[in-house]
Amino acid sequence: MNNTNGKIDIRSLSLSTLQEHFIRMDEKSFRAKQVYEWLWKKSCFSFNEMSNISKELRTKLDDNFVINNVKINSSQVSADKTIKNSFILHDNHLIEGVLIPTPGRMTACVSSQVGCSLTCKFCATGYMERKRNLNPDEIYDQVVLIDKQARENYGQPLSNIVYMGMGEPLLNYANMMKSIDRITSEDGLNMAAKRITVSTAGIAKMIKKLGDDDVKFNLALSLHAANDEKRNTIMPINEQNSLKALAEALKYYYAKTKNPVTYEYIIFDGVNDNIQDAMELAKFCKHLPCKVNIIEYNPIAFASYINAGEDKVEAFAAYLTKQGINTHLRRSRGKDIDAACGQLAIKEKDKLAEV
């Protein structure tokens, strides 16, 4: 990928392609490996910081290549210590990512697209336009920056990553997969794949592709109704990816990977909160080993949905548990700074703060 100034985005190159560039520049190919290590293992954002590279080569790199690194535009800290970040990209688009500290765990919630092309009615990002997909390095950079934040603010490294920020990861499949490769590789951040969860609104053919690719990370499906009519209303993507199609794809995925699936279920007041809904969900859960995360809803200005009452939520969860389904109630974090699930949206509308 070339920039308008003619320089090549160095992190868009594989190691072998970078080595070819080095040979054309009359440089030893092992130098490319050193630079590659600086870029991915040491998360270096500047050629000048590559201390075991000669000054002459650093100048050559600066003349021919660019590192389009992500920067923090602004950060907000919640009362519960959650940190929401607005990140600025090289082309001045903004995305959001969140550090979620909980006892025994530091989780980064990262974005995969600028905006989102899906129109889930309860989600703030769904009311935004999708501008473009994120590159693998832009997803990777969010992890690097949030990890640094975790260490500096709470004295702990990241333990988990969730692809639950802005965008639909399976509609940016190749770049999402490349970012996970860089995050999990020994010559990258060397994080365990089992510590990563990719959340999808449900694209059946791409769920099958995850199975074909025998992925090692975790898969979560944003479900919210196990009834096509209701799910069509809440999540219009269901009209092209019915529950039957999703069940088929998930069974295929499980047969290939043996990875259980997590279903995310927000209980909306008067929408999907009665025992009939719980019965339908329990039936859907019988397709393959799974667990259900019941998530507290975080109201947004664009939508009229509200969270179901505590008694209904507890009755819903109790029914699932009685059916032998592994069920967890998840309390939202970062609500006071619009950092909770479904609340990520760029309020600046790409009008940048001073950086």
Binding site for [4Fe-4S] cluster, by residue number, is 116, 120, 123
* CA 9, 11, 12, 15 torsion-angle sign: positive
Residue 96 designated active-site: yes
* C-beta contacts of 61-64 below 8 A and 24+ residues apart: 61/10, 61/35, 63/7, 64/7, 64/8, 64/21, 64/25
Residue 247: C-alpha distances to residues 9, 60, 78, 109 (Å): 40, 53, 37, 26
Residue 348 a catalytic site member: no
- Which residues does 214 contact at the CB level (< 8 Å), separation at least 6? 256, 257
Type of residue found at 88: I
From the list 96, 138, 264, 280, the catalytic residue is 96
Strand partners, 162: 109, 197
* Burial 53-78, CB ≥16 within 10 A → b, else e: beeebbebbeeebbbbbbebbbeeeb
SS3 227: coil
Question: Which of these, 11, 17, 62, lies nearest to 38 by C-alpha position?
Answer: 11
CB of 82 closer than 8 Å to CB of 339 = yes
How far apart are the C-alpha atoms of 206 and 209, rounded to whole Å?
Answer: 5
Residue that the structure tokens 């899906």 belong to: 118
SS3 per-residue string spanning 92-132: CCEEEEEEEEECCEEEEECCCEECCCCCCCCCCHHHCCCCE
Kindly state the tokens that stand for 341. Answer: 């699930």
Question: Is the separation of the CB atoms in 114 and 93 below 8 Å?
Answer: yes
Quick one: tokens of 49?
A: 């910081």
Which position among 109, 285, 290, 341 bears the catalytic label?
Answer: 341
- Hey, which residues are catalytic here? 96, 341
